Amino acid sequence: MAVPKKKTSHRRTRQRRAHDSLNAPNLVACKKCGEMGMPHRACTTCGYYGDKKVLDVESGLAKKLKKQDNKEDDKS
Ligand SMILES: [Zn+2]
């Protein structure tokens, strides 16, 4: 196994990790509903991309609720 010859100094460690910070995601407001979301992606709240409806949000929500109900039935 390769073993480091010298202990990595605090300064070297900090210098290496200076580039490791995370940036906040760049969010834009939906033109239809005003909800914040990722740019160049369909809105997950209203299902619109620009002025076109591309996602069936209601059916997805119904599916999710049904799944939750099934989970709760399993518990009781
Ligand atoms: Zn929207």
Q: How many angstroms separate the Cα of 42 from the Cα of each of 18, 29, 35?
A: 34, 11, 11
Report field, pTM of the whole predicted structure over 0.75: no
Q: How far is the CA of 51 from the centre of ligand 1 (A)?
A: 10
Residue 38 tokens read as 């990722």
Q: Write down the pLDDT at residue 76.
A: 59
Tens of each residue's pLDDT in the chain, 76 residues: 999 999 999 999 999 999 999 999 999 999 999 999 999 999 999 999 999 999 888 887 777 777 788 887 776 5
Distance 72 CA to ligand 1 centre (A): 30
Instruction: Tell me how far the alpha carbon of residue 46 lies from the centroid of ligand 1, in angstroms.
Output: 4
String of DSSP letters for the chain: ----SSPPPHHHHHHHHTT-PPPPP--EE-TTT--EE-TTS--TTT-EETTEE---HHHHHHHHHHHHHHHHHHH-
Q: What is the pLDDT of residue 64?
A: 75
Residue 34 CA, ligand 1 centroid: distance in Å: 6
Looking at residue 7, its pLDDT comes to: 97
According to the model, what pLDDT value does residue 74 have?
75
